[in-house]
Amino acid sequence: MSDINEAVKLIEKQGDELSAHYKKTDARFSELEKDLNDIHKKAGRPSAGDGDYVVKAKHEEFFDVKTKKSVPVLAHSNSLASLDYKANLPSIGRILRGIALGGRNDDAGELELERKSLGIAGDPSGGYTVSGALSSQWIDTLRASMVLSRAGARTIPMESGTLSLARVVTDPTCSWHGENAALADSSPTFGSVNLAAKTVVCLVKLSLELAQDSANIEQILQSTITNAMAAAIDRAGLVGTSTDAAGAPSGIMNLENRNSVTAIGAPTAWDFLLDGMYELAADNVPLDNIGAFVAHPAVWLKMRKLKTGITNDKTPLTMPAEIAALPKLWTTAAPLTGGTTASGIIADWRDLIFGVRKDISIRVLSETFMGSNLQLAVLAYSRVDFAATRQQSFCTLEGITV
């Protein structure tokens, strides 16, 4: 009998030790999960749309006096999707495949439920309007690819087609006041600028066979559409467009009161960038606030090949410390005329506002191309605009011979 009691006690002891081990392991897993979440938060990047985790970094807010609502103002490190977070979102590419193939793809049933739960509404013309968390995820993917967002432009989601913002027209005029003396007159300092949503459109055609049989069609659809739209938005934000100019943002190169360094010619040093930084500093932009130099890759190639200038010395030209510390973003959306003449921009990029409507529309044009080419086409469009809240915070560097 005593042997049985000893065996029971031994089993109970082992059970208690196992239970304690489970509790210790669970606590450790919880600690590791917390550490991982902290790492994600510190990374502070917009979601690329391929996972469940959405960064919830803090953001600024404006107040819209018309709607009486707070308007979030997002830096590149903030995620729009975190404002209406929903776990277990499918990737954008997967949703595109589901919309394109409808009931023909293997997980059509599941995607049908997702379309209902994620605010993907059908319309009579055969399209879908993506809203809510999935639309925010899509916009974050665009922003992750946009050079202007990476440079420091701030994003404002627009609840309607227009949004009014205050802008600085001239810096305040200050004077010293003597007792009983008249106050000096000052010209107006502030004005207004309107964000008016303009439509950017992307059309991608693909064969029915490719859509049904390709293992990577989700990734291809997502990257092709978002990269093309991001480049088009960057180009309009930088230079506007010559085709249907009124239907697109006018671009930084067209700001009336911007600073500029012109007729630069073929550079032999980084002096043109120093001149641009001086122009901004002379307009009270602190050097620490001057953000990325944005230009065409042809400028990178030209400057990278520069040598010291000493006879027979092939050592690459050294940048001044201020230029070396300045981020440089190269994009084919930046101006390049005739393959020989480029322009770049430096700025306090926080004074550039990127407004975007949160509803993105997707249409599948199957009937248009199916009968003649057995093709599908995905048409995506979004409504966006840019506004400069202080035009003197921008400096264009023009006429760089490359």
- DSSP output for 357-374: ES-EEEEE-HHHHHHHH-
DSSP state of 91: P
Burial of 230 (0-12, 13-18, 19+ CB in 10 A): buried
Q: How far apart are CA 182 and CA 37, in angstroms?
A: 60
Lowest mean pLDDT among 31-35, 181-185, 311-315: 31-35
Encoding tokens for residue 342?
Answer: 């480029």
Q: How far apart are CA 400 and CA 272, in angstroms?
A: 9
Co-location of 370 and 397 in the same domain:
no
Q: How far apart are CA 398 and CA 402, in angstroms?
A: 12
Considering only CA atoms, which of 38, 296, 294 is closest in space to residue 150?
294
* pLDDT tens column, 183-211: 776 666 777 788 999 999 988 888 777 77
Q: Looking at residues 329-337, what average pLDDT do you find?
A: 96
Residue 100, domain CATH: 3.30.2400.10
Q: Are 393 and 285 in contact (CB under 8 A)?
A: yes
Co-location of 190 and 311 in the same domain:
no
Of 147 and 33, which is predicted with more confidence?
A: 147
Co-location of 162 and 311 in the same domain:
no
Q: How far apart are CA 97 and CA 106, in angstroms?
A: 11
Residue 344, domain CATH: 3.30.2320.10
Q: Looking at residues 226-248, what average pLDDT do you find?
A: 89
- The DSSP string of 164-204 is EEEEESSPPP-----TTPPPPP----EEEEEEE-EEEEEEE
State whether residue 60 is helix, strand or coil. Answer: strand
Q: How far apart are CA 246 and CA 385, in angstroms?
A: 12
* pLDDT tens column, 39-78: 544 444 444 444 433 444 577 877 666 776 778 888 898 8
- pTM value? 0.75
Q: How far apart are CA 2 and CA 8, in angstroms?
A: 10
DSSP state of 233: H
Is 37 inside a domain boundary?
A: no
Counting the structural domains of the chain, the total is 2
Co-location of 375 and 320 in the same domain:
no
Share above pLDDT 70 across residues of the chain, in percent, rounded to a whole number: 72
Is 246 inside a domain boundary?
A: yes
Co-location of 208 and 308 in the same domain:
no
Quote the domain boundaries for residue 304: 257-349+392-401
In this predicted structure, what is the pLDDT of residue 220? Answer: 78
Query: Phi/psi at 202 (nearest 5 deg)?
Result: -135, 130
Q: Are 38 and 44 in contact (CB under 8 A)?
A: no
In this predicted structure, what is the pLDDT of residue 62? Answer: 75
Show Cβ contacts of residue 339 under 8 Å, excluding neighbours closer than 6 positions.
298
Q: Are 251 and 232 in contact (CB under 8 A)?
A: no
Co-location of 216 and 325 in the same domain:
no
Q: Are 294 and 283 in contact (CB under 8 A)?
A: no
Is 64 inside a domain boundary?
A: yes
Is 21 inside a domain boundary?
A: no
CA 208 to centroid of chain Cα atoms: 32
- The DSSP string of 336-352 is EETTTEEEEEEE-GGGE
Co-location of 90 and 111 in the same domain:
yes
Is 38 inside a domain boundary?
A: no
Q: How far apart are CA 198 and CA 158, in angstroms?
A: 12
User: Where are the strands (E) in 26-131, listed by range?
Assistant: 60-64, 69-73, 120-122, 127-130
Co-location of 134 and 245 in the same domain:
yes
Is 43 inside a domain boundary?
A: no
Co-location of 224 and 307 in the same domain:
no
Q: Is a pLDDT exceeding 80 seen at residue 245?
A: no
In this predicted structure, what is the pLDDT of residue 56? Answer: 47
Encoding tokens for residue 391?
Answer: 């035009």
State whether residue 244 is helix, strand or coil. Answer: coil
β-pair partners for 207: 375
Co-location of 94 and 208 in the same domain:
yes
Co-location of 152 and 101 in the same domain:
yes
Co-location of 102 and 238 in the same domain:
yes
Q: Mean pLDDT for the chain?
A: 79
Encoding tokens for residue 158?
Answer: 């627009």
Is 139 inside a domain boundary?
A: yes
Q: Are 100 and 364 in contact (CB under 8 A)?
A: yes
In this predicted structure, what is the pLDDT of residue 239? Answer: 95
Q: Looking at residues 33-39, what average pLDDT do you find?
A: 61
Q: Are 80 and 360 in contact (CB under 8 A)?
A: no
Is 193 inside a domain boundary?
A: yes
